[in-house]
Structure 1
Amino acid sequence: MTNTKTKPMTITELSRVTGVSGASITALVKKWKLKPTKTGEYNRKYYSAKDCQRIIDYYSSKAKTGTKKATKTATKDEIIQTLREQIEDQRHQIDQLNEQLKMAQINLSQSQQLQLRQAEQIKRLEGPQEATGDVVSASDGKGAEESDKDKKTAHKTNEDDQGEAESPSLFQRLFGKKKKIKF
Protein backbone atom coordinates (compact mmCIF):
# COMPACT_ATOMS: atom_id res chain seq x y z
CA MET A 1 0.00 0.00 0.00
CA THR A 2 2.87 2.32 0.57
CA ASN A 3 3.76 2.67 -3.09
CA THR A 4 0.26 3.30 -4.36
CA LYS A 5 -0.68 6.81 -5.33
CA THR A 6 -3.45 8.26 -3.30
CA LYS A 7 -5.66 11.21 -3.91
CA PRO A 8 -7.17 13.60 -1.40
CA MET A 9 -9.90 11.78 0.58
CA THR A 10 -12.53 12.31 3.25
CA ILE A 11 -12.57 10.46 6.54
CA THR A 12 -15.36 8.23 5.20
CA GLU A 13 -13.29 7.28 2.15
CA LEU A 14 -10.25 6.60 4.35
CA SER A 15 -12.43 4.41 6.54
CA ARG A 16 -13.45 2.30 3.54
CA VAL A 17 -9.88 1.97 2.27
CA THR A 18 -8.33 1.01 5.61
CA GLY A 19 -11.25 -1.00 6.99
CA VAL A 20 -11.13 1.01 10.20
CA SER A 21 -14.04 2.92 11.67
CA GLY A 22 -14.49 6.60 10.90
CA ALA A 23 -14.27 7.42 14.61
CA SER A 24 -10.81 5.82 14.81
CA ILE A 25 -9.59 7.79 11.81
CA THR A 26 -11.05 11.01 13.24
CA ALA A 27 -9.21 10.35 16.52
CA LEU A 28 -5.96 9.79 14.60
CA VAL A 29 -6.49 13.00 12.58
CA LYS A 30 -6.97 14.95 15.82
CA LYS A 31 -3.98 13.26 17.42
CA TRP A 32 -1.73 14.14 14.50
CA LYS A 33 -3.38 17.58 14.18
CA LEU A 34 -4.04 17.14 10.48
CA LYS A 35 -5.85 19.96 8.68
CA PRO A 36 -8.10 19.42 5.67
CA THR A 37 -6.61 20.82 2.46
CA LYS A 38 -9.91 21.66 0.86
CA THR A 39 -13.58 21.60 1.50
CA GLY A 40 -15.76 20.02 -1.12
CA GLU A 41 -19.43 19.83 -1.87
CA TYR A 42 -21.71 19.66 1.25
CA ASN A 43 -18.83 20.84 3.46
CA ARG A 44 -16.88 17.61 3.04
CA LYS A 45 -13.35 17.92 4.35
CA TYR A 46 -10.65 16.46 2.12
CA TYR A 47 -7.22 15.64 3.50
CA SER A 48 -4.09 15.82 1.35
CA ALA A 49 -2.86 12.77 -0.55
CA LYS A 50 0.27 12.80 1.62
CA ASP A 51 -1.77 12.74 4.87
CA CYS A 52 -4.06 10.06 3.47
CA GLN A 53 -1.09 7.87 2.53
CA ARG A 54 0.33 8.36 6.00
CA ILE A 55 -2.95 7.18 7.59
CA ILE A 56 -3.19 4.19 5.23
CA ASP A 57 0.42 3.21 6.02
CA TYR A 58 -0.22 3.54 9.75
CA TYR A 59 -3.16 1.14 9.70
CA SER A 60 -1.51 -1.32 7.31
CA SER A 61 1.55 -1.55 9.61
CA LYS A 62 -0.78 -2.13 12.57
CA ALA A 63 -2.38 -5.02 10.69
CA LYS A 64 1.00 -6.57 9.90
CA THR A 65 2.21 -6.47 13.49
CA GLY A 66 -1.05 -7.94 14.73
CA THR A 67 -1.61 -5.30 17.38
CA LYS A 68 -4.84 -4.21 15.76
CA LYS A 69 -6.88 -5.71 12.96
CA ALA A 70 -7.04 -3.58 9.86
CA THR A 71 -10.23 -5.19 8.66
CA LYS A 72 -13.10 -6.75 10.47
CA THR A 73 -14.16 -8.91 7.59
CA ALA A 74 -13.46 -12.62 7.68
CA THR A 75 -13.10 -14.89 4.72
CA LYS A 76 -16.07 -16.76 3.41
CA ASP A 77 -14.64 -20.09 4.59
CA GLU A 78 -14.11 -18.77 8.12
CA ILE A 79 -17.69 -17.52 8.28
CA ILE A 80 -19.04 -20.84 6.99
CA GLN A 81 -16.93 -22.78 9.50
CA THR A 82 -18.12 -20.58 12.36
CA LEU A 83 -21.75 -21.03 11.32
CA ARG A 84 -21.30 -24.81 11.08
CA GLU A 85 -19.87 -24.90 14.59
CA GLN A 86 -22.78 -22.83 15.90
CA ILE A 87 -25.27 -25.13 14.18
CA GLU A 88 -23.55 -28.20 15.64
CA ASP A 89 -23.66 -26.65 19.13
CA GLN A 90 -27.35 -25.89 18.73
CA ARG A 91 -28.05 -29.45 17.54
CA HIS A 92 -26.28 -30.76 20.62
CA GLN A 93 -28.38 -28.48 22.84
CA ILE A 94 -31.55 -29.65 21.08
CA ASP A 95 -30.58 -33.29 21.64
CA GLN A 96 -30.03 -32.60 25.34
CA LEU A 97 -33.37 -30.82 25.63
CA ASN A 98 -35.14 -33.69 23.82
CA GLU A 99 -33.60 -36.17 26.28
CA GLN A 100 -34.76 -34.05 29.21
CA LEU A 101 -38.23 -33.87 27.69
CA LYS A 102 -38.39 -37.68 27.35
CA MET A 103 -37.41 -38.10 30.99
CA ALA A 104 -39.99 -35.54 32.08
CA GLN A 105 -42.69 -37.37 30.08
CA ILE A 106 -41.73 -40.69 31.70
CA ASN A 107 -41.85 -39.11 35.16
CA LEU A 108 -45.21 -37.51 34.41
CA SER A 109 -46.64 -40.81 33.20
CA GLN A 110 -45.45 -42.62 36.32
CA SER A 111 -46.85 -39.88 38.53
CA GLN A 112 -50.23 -40.11 36.83
CA GLN A 113 -50.31 -43.89 37.24
CA LEU A 114 -49.53 -43.57 40.94
CA GLN A 115 -52.25 -40.96 41.38
CA LEU A 116 -54.80 -43.19 39.64
CA ARG A 117 -53.91 -46.15 41.87
CA GLN A 118 -54.12 -43.95 44.93
CA ALA A 119 -57.52 -42.61 43.86
CA GLU A 120 -58.80 -46.17 43.31
CA GLN A 121 -57.62 -47.25 46.77
CA ILE A 122 -59.27 -44.25 48.38
CA LYS A 123 -62.53 -45.00 46.55
CA ARG A 124 -62.46 -48.59 47.75
CA LEU A 125 -61.84 -47.51 51.32
CA GLU A 126 -64.46 -44.79 51.38
CA GLY A 127 -67.02 -46.66 49.30
CA PRO A 128 -70.08 -48.42 50.77
CA GLN A 129 -69.10 -51.35 52.96
CA GLU A 130 -70.95 -54.51 53.77
CA ALA A 131 -72.83 -54.67 57.05
CA THR A 132 -69.92 -56.54 58.57
CA GLY A 133 -67.56 -53.61 58.07
CA ASP A 134 -64.96 -55.63 56.16
CA VAL A 135 -62.58 -53.85 53.88
CA VAL A 136 -62.45 -55.67 50.59
CA SER A 137 -59.20 -55.16 48.73
CA ALA A 138 -58.47 -56.28 45.19
CA SER A 139 -54.81 -56.64 46.04
CA ASP A 140 -55.47 -59.17 48.86
CA GLY A 141 -55.00 -62.14 46.54
CA LYS A 142 -57.28 -64.32 48.72
CA GLY A 143 -59.54 -66.86 47.15
CA ALA A 144 -63.34 -66.95 47.44
CA GLU A 145 -63.22 -69.48 50.25
CA GLU A 146 -60.96 -67.32 52.38
CA SER A 147 -63.05 -64.20 51.87
CA ASP A 148 -66.25 -66.10 52.86
CA LYS A 149 -64.46 -67.36 55.95
CA ASP A 150 -63.30 -63.83 56.75
CA LYS A 151 -66.85 -62.53 56.38
CA LYS A 152 -68.21 -65.15 58.79
CA THR A 153 -65.47 -64.37 61.30
CA ALA A 154 -66.07 -60.64 60.98
CA HIS A 155 -69.84 -61.14 61.38
CA LYS A 156 -69.27 -63.19 64.50
CA THR A 157 -66.95 -60.58 66.00
CA ASN A 158 -69.46 -57.85 65.15
CA GLU A 159 -72.14 -59.69 67.08
CA ASP A 160 -69.78 -59.93 70.03
CA ASP A 161 -69.17 -56.19 69.91
CA GLN A 162 -72.49 -54.68 71.04
CA GLY A 163 -71.25 -51.14 71.68
CA GLU A 164 -69.97 -50.44 68.18
CA ALA A 165 -71.87 -48.38 65.64
CA GLU A 166 -73.16 -50.13 62.54
CA SER A 167 -70.81 -48.34 60.12
CA PRO A 168 -67.16 -48.60 61.14
CA SER A 169 -64.85 -45.58 61.18
CA LEU A 170 -62.21 -45.00 58.53
CA PHE A 171 -59.58 -46.11 61.03
CA GLN A 172 -61.42 -49.37 61.63
CA ARG A 173 -61.81 -49.97 57.92
CA LEU A 174 -58.10 -49.41 57.39
CA PHE A 175 -56.78 -51.35 60.37
CA GLY A 176 -59.63 -53.66 61.27
CA LYS A 177 -61.53 -54.07 64.53
CA LYS A 178 -60.04 -52.31 67.48
CA LYS A 179 -58.88 -54.62 70.20
CA LYS A 180 -59.63 -54.06 73.82
CA ILE A 181 -56.50 -53.83 75.88
CA LYS A 182 -56.69 -54.94 79.50
CA PHE A 183 -54.27 -53.58 82.04
Structure 2
Amino acid sequence: MKELILASNNAHKVEEIKSILDDYKILTLKDIGYYEDIIEDGTTFEENALIKARTIAKHSGKAAIADDSGLSVALLDGRPGVYSARYSVEQTDEKNIEKVLAELNGEKSEAKFVSVIALVKPDGTEITFRGECHGEIIFEKRGNNGFGYDPIFYVPSLEKTFAELTSEQKNSISHRKESLDKFSKYLKEEDYEN
Protein backbone atom coordinates (compact mmCIF):
# COMPACT_ATOMS: atom_id res chain seq x y z
CA MET A 1 0.00 0.00 0.00
CA LYS A 2 1.28 3.48 -0.84
CA GLU A 3 2.23 5.66 2.13
CA LEU A 4 1.65 9.36 2.72
CA ILE A 5 2.92 11.34 5.69
CA LEU A 6 0.23 13.64 7.05
CA ALA A 7 1.55 16.66 8.95
CA SER A 8 -1.03 16.32 11.73
CA ASN A 9 -1.87 14.56 14.96
CA ASN A 10 -5.44 15.94 15.02
CA ALA A 11 -7.43 12.76 15.60
CA HIS A 12 -10.62 14.02 13.89
CA LYS A 13 -8.71 15.22 10.83
CA VAL A 14 -6.61 12.05 10.61
CA GLU A 15 -9.73 9.86 10.82
CA GLU A 16 -11.53 11.84 8.08
CA ILE A 17 -8.51 11.81 5.79
CA LYS A 18 -7.88 8.08 6.32
CA SER A 19 -11.51 7.26 5.51
CA ILE A 20 -11.47 9.33 2.30
CA LEU A 21 -7.96 8.33 1.12
CA ASP A 22 -8.48 4.66 1.90
CA ASP A 23 -6.12 3.51 -0.88
CA TYR A 24 -3.18 4.92 1.08
CA LYS A 25 -1.49 4.18 4.37
CA ILE A 26 -1.56 7.52 6.20
CA LEU A 27 1.28 8.12 8.67
CA THR A 28 0.87 10.83 11.32
CA LEU A 29 3.52 12.98 12.98
CA LYS A 30 3.45 10.59 15.93
CA ASP A 31 4.07 7.66 13.56
CA ILE A 32 7.28 9.28 12.27
CA GLY A 33 8.41 10.50 15.71
CA TYR A 34 7.96 14.22 15.07
CA TYR A 35 6.88 16.02 18.25
CA GLU A 36 7.81 19.66 17.68
CA ASP A 37 5.19 22.37 17.23
CA ILE A 38 4.90 23.72 13.70
CA ILE A 39 4.25 27.46 13.77
CA GLU A 40 1.35 28.24 11.44
CA ASP A 41 1.85 31.95 10.79
CA GLY A 42 0.42 32.14 7.28
CA THR A 43 -2.51 34.40 6.46
CA THR A 44 -4.27 31.93 4.15
CA PHE A 45 -5.22 28.25 4.34
CA GLU A 46 -2.82 27.61 1.44
CA GLU A 47 0.12 29.23 3.24
CA ASN A 48 -0.47 27.31 6.48
CA ALA A 49 -0.92 23.96 4.72
CA LEU A 50 2.33 24.52 2.81
CA ILE A 51 4.22 25.51 5.99
CA LYS A 52 3.24 22.21 7.63
CA ALA A 53 3.91 20.04 4.56
CA ARG A 54 7.29 21.71 3.87
CA THR A 55 8.41 21.16 7.46
CA ILE A 56 7.59 17.44 7.40
CA ALA A 57 8.95 16.85 3.88
CA LYS A 58 12.24 18.41 4.97
CA HIS A 59 12.27 16.42 8.23
CA SER A 60 11.42 13.05 6.65
CA GLY A 61 12.99 13.33 3.22
CA LYS A 62 9.69 12.00 1.86
CA ALA A 63 6.58 13.55 0.35
CA ALA A 64 4.32 15.08 2.97
CA ILE A 65 0.75 16.33 2.92
CA ALA A 66 -1.00 18.75 5.22
CA ASP A 67 -4.52 20.05 5.59
CA ASP A 68 -5.38 23.52 6.75
CA SER A 69 -9.05 24.16 7.12
CA GLY A 70 -11.57 26.32 8.85
CA LEU A 71 -14.79 28.27 8.81
CA SER A 72 -15.24 31.45 6.81
CA VAL A 73 -18.32 33.51 7.75
CA ALA A 74 -19.47 36.09 5.18
CA LEU A 75 -20.76 38.72 7.64
CA LEU A 76 -17.53 38.43 9.66
CA ASP A 77 -15.38 39.25 6.61
CA GLY A 78 -14.20 35.66 6.41
CA ARG A 79 -13.40 35.21 10.10
CA PRO A 80 -12.52 33.03 11.92
CA GLY A 81 -10.67 31.74 8.82
CA VAL A 82 -7.14 30.49 9.53
CA TYR A 83 -7.76 31.13 13.24
CA SER A 84 -10.78 28.78 13.40
CA ALA A 85 -9.26 26.34 15.92
CA ARG A 86 -7.87 29.12 18.11
CA TYR A 87 -10.51 31.82 17.68
CA SER A 88 -11.43 32.24 21.34
CA VAL A 89 -9.07 32.84 24.23
CA GLU A 90 -9.86 29.36 25.55
CA GLN A 91 -9.41 27.76 22.09
CA THR A 92 -12.16 25.18 22.70
CA ASP A 93 -14.91 24.21 20.27
CA GLU A 94 -17.56 25.49 22.69
CA LYS A 95 -15.94 28.91 23.23
CA ASN A 96 -15.07 29.31 19.54
CA ILE A 97 -18.74 28.75 18.65
CA GLU A 98 -19.85 31.21 21.34
CA LYS A 99 -17.52 33.89 19.96
CA VAL A 100 -18.77 33.47 16.36
CA LEU A 101 -22.42 33.63 17.48
CA ALA A 102 -21.75 36.66 19.70
CA GLU A 103 -20.06 38.50 16.82
CA LEU A 104 -22.99 37.74 14.49
CA ASN A 105 -25.33 39.17 17.13
CA GLY A 106 -28.39 37.36 15.76
CA GLU A 107 -27.75 38.21 12.10
CA LYS A 108 -28.10 35.26 9.73
CA SER A 109 -25.00 34.73 7.59
CA GLU A 110 -23.81 32.58 4.76
CA ALA A 111 -20.65 30.66 5.56
CA LYS A 112 -18.34 28.09 4.07
CA PHE A 113 -15.95 25.51 5.33
CA VAL A 114 -12.63 25.56 3.47
CA SER A 115 -10.02 22.81 3.27
CA VAL A 116 -6.67 23.10 1.53
CA ILE A 117 -4.49 20.04 1.07
CA ALA A 118 -0.83 20.80 0.35
CA LEU A 119 1.59 18.28 -1.10
CA VAL A 120 5.32 18.89 -0.88
CA LYS A 121 7.60 16.40 -2.62
CA PRO A 122 11.27 15.76 -1.80
CA ASP A 123 12.27 17.43 -5.08
CA GLY A 124 10.68 20.67 -3.88
CA THR A 125 7.50 20.40 -5.97
CA GLU A 126 4.59 22.06 -4.16
CA ILE A 127 0.92 21.89 -5.07
CA THR A 128 -2.31 22.72 -3.26
CA PHE A 129 -5.88 21.47 -3.66
CA ARG A 130 -8.81 23.54 -2.34
CA GLY A 131 -12.28 22.36 -1.38
CA GLU A 132 -15.27 24.34 -0.10
CA CYS A 133 -18.64 23.44 1.35
CA HIS A 134 -21.25 26.21 1.47
CA GLY A 135 -23.92 26.64 4.09
CA GLU A 136 -25.09 29.10 6.73
CA ILE A 137 -24.71 29.71 10.43
CA ILE A 138 -27.63 28.91 12.72
CA PHE A 139 -27.97 30.10 16.31
CA GLU A 140 -29.14 26.87 17.91
CA LYS A 141 -26.58 24.08 18.13
CA ARG A 142 -27.93 20.90 16.56
CA GLY A 143 -26.49 17.39 16.44
CA ASN A 144 -23.88 15.42 18.35
CA ASN A 145 -21.54 14.27 15.59
CA GLY A 146 -18.47 15.93 14.16
CA PHE A 147 -16.37 18.57 15.87
CA GLY A 148 -15.50 22.25 15.78
CA TYR A 149 -18.24 24.44 14.31
CA ASP A 150 -20.26 21.48 12.96
CA PRO A 151 -23.29 22.03 15.31
CA ILE A 152 -23.93 25.55 13.91
CA PHE A 153 -23.00 24.94 10.25
CA TYR A 154 -26.29 24.29 8.43
CA VAL A 155 -26.48 22.81 4.93
CA PRO A 156 -29.81 23.98 3.42
CA SER A 157 -29.95 21.27 0.74
CA LEU A 158 -29.84 18.59 3.45
CA GLU A 159 -31.79 20.57 6.06
CA LYS A 160 -29.19 19.46 8.62
CA THR A 161 -26.10 20.75 10.36
CA PHE A 162 -22.77 18.99 9.88
CA ALA A 163 -23.19 17.66 13.44
CA GLU A 164 -26.48 15.98 12.47
CA LEU A 165 -24.85 14.02 9.65
CA THR A 166 -23.20 10.64 10.00
CA SER A 167 -19.48 10.65 9.28
CA GLU A 168 -20.25 8.90 5.96
CA GLN A 169 -22.76 11.61 4.99
CA LYS A 170 -20.40 14.41 6.00
CA ASN A 171 -17.44 12.82 4.22
CA SER A 172 -19.50 12.61 1.01
CA ILE A 173 -20.12 16.38 0.79
CA SER A 174 -17.52 18.10 2.96
CA HIS A 175 -14.88 20.66 2.06
CA ARG A 176 -12.21 18.09 2.97
CA LYS A 177 -13.82 15.52 0.68
CA GLU A 178 -13.61 17.98 -2.22
CA SER A 179 -9.97 18.90 -1.60
CA LEU A 180 -9.00 15.25 -1.07
CA ASP A 181 -10.85 14.17 -4.23
CA LYS A 182 -8.82 16.70 -6.22
CA PHE A 183 -5.65 15.48 -4.50
CA SER A 184 -6.50 11.81 -5.09
CA LYS A 185 -7.21 12.50 -8.78
CA TYR A 186 -3.78 14.15 -9.05
CA LEU A 187 -2.11 11.13 -7.41
CA LYS A 188 -3.83 8.73 -9.79
CA GLU A 189 -2.89 10.82 -12.84
CA GLU A 190 0.72 10.99 -11.66
CA ASP A 191 0.64 7.29 -10.61
CA TYR A 192 2.39 8.63 -7.56
CA GLU A 193 4.72 6.47 -5.48
CA ASN A 194 6.20 7.96 -2.32
Q: TM-score, normalised to structure 1's length? A: 0.17
In our comparison, the structure showing a higher alpha carbon Rg is 1
Higher relative contact order (CA 8 A, sep 6+): 2
Structure with bigger strand share is: 2
Structure with bigger helix share is: 1
Q: TM-score, normalised to structure 2's length? A: 0.17
